[in-house]
């Protein structure tokens, strides 16, 4: 596991969650069914090298409450987009990327 402090105990940029962790935001009119589809699409991946599979590490928010955040882990390529992989009714954006 990565560390966010160096040998002198000073805080440094980094990630204690794994090699690469990304935070995605979902906004719009996502339904429970579309969120289930998004999670399935993220974990199975699409075109290798363009939209690789990731592991969903956490979800915060509720359908209908405005913004949902999804934490995903994986070192492959992730292409966040509106109507992600044909699943309609929301906008997906990359909010943050944590790397070693």
Is 11 a domain residue? no
Is 55 a domain residue? yes
Residue 58 lies in domain: 21-99
Q: How many domains does the chain have?
A: 1
Report the CATH number that the domain containing residue 83 is assigned in CATH. Answer: 3.30.70
What is the b/e burial string over 8-22, where b = at least 16 CB atoms within 10 angstroms of the residue's CB? Answer: eeeeeeebebbebbb
Q: What is the pLDDT of residues 21-41, one digit of tens each?
A: 999 998 887 888 888 998 999
* pTM summary value: 0.80
Taking the C-alpha atoms of 37, 40, 45 and 46 in order, what is their torsion angle to the nearest 10 degrees?
-30
Is 16 a domain residue? no
| pLDDT classification of 48: cutoffs 50, 70, 90 | confident
Question: Which residues, in sequence order, are bridge partners of residue 80?
Answer: none
DSSP 41: H
Whole-number CA gyration radius for the chain = 15
Q: What is the pLDDT of residues 60-99, one digit of tens each?
A: 988 877 899 999 999 888 888 888 888 887 888 999 998 8
């Amino acid at each position: 596991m990565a560390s966010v402090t160096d040998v002198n105990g000073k805080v440094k940029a980094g990630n204690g969650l794994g090699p690469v962790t990304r935070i995605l935001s979902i906004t719009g009119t996502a339904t429970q069914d579309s969120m289930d589809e998004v999670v399935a699409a993220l974990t199975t991946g699409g075109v290798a090298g363009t939209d690789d599979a990731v592991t969903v590490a956490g979800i915060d928010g509720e359908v209908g409450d405005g913004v949902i955040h999804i934490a995903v882990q994986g070192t492959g390529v992730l292409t966040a987009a509106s109507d992600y992989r044909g699943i309609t009714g929301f906008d997906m954006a990359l909010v943050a990327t944590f790397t070693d």
